[in-house]
Amino acid sequence: DELAAAAGVTSGSVYKHFGGKSELLAAIIAAELARSEAMFAAVPVGDAARLDKVIAGYLSPAHVEHPESGCPLPSLTPEIARADDDVRAAFEGGLRAVHAAMNEHVDDSDAAWALMAQAVGAVMLARALPSGATRGKVLAAVKRNARALVRAAREPEDRR
């Protein structure tokens, strides 16, 4: 009811489009992860400076302080883990799409997963920290590590 009211519609109209809360959550997850995928897909492959800006924006105090306007992963992942199979399938599909977009930049599946996990984990940790100084240290450390991981993943195999 609160979600319907926030959207300016009635609960009945929400249920007209969605069979229940689970179907609604799956649709929200799919839409939000598509937004995250688009963010990385919009960066031209090889544009390390622009990729760095996108990652820095993700690992920014603004993203940490405003979960309502950011990526759903740091906030919703614990809820998704307890959701039904349809929600978890929507999550997996969206997550794989984000991974594919990230993999275009690093050309290394493991590096793409590691970047995603580190970024999401850093935001989760930073949101839980009361100290702005410690929060900043976590975000800065993961930004540095992300830059290094992107550079290393893009190096020719014989230089790794």
pLDDT in tens, the chain (160 residues): 777 788 788 888 877 888 888 888 898 899 999 999 999 999 999 898 999 999 999 999 999 999 888 888 898 888 899 999 999 999 999 999 999 999 999 999 999 999 999 999 999 999 999 988 999 999 999 999 999 988 888 776 555 4
Main-chain dihedrals φ then ψ at residue 19, nearest 5 degrees: -70, -10
pLDDT at 74: 92
Smallest CA-to-CA distance from 57 within 37, 41, 71 is with 71
Q: Is the pTM of this model over 0.75?
A: yes
DSSP assignment of 30-75, as one string? HHHHHHHHHHHHTSPTT-HHHHHHHHHHHTSHHHHH-GGGS-SHHH
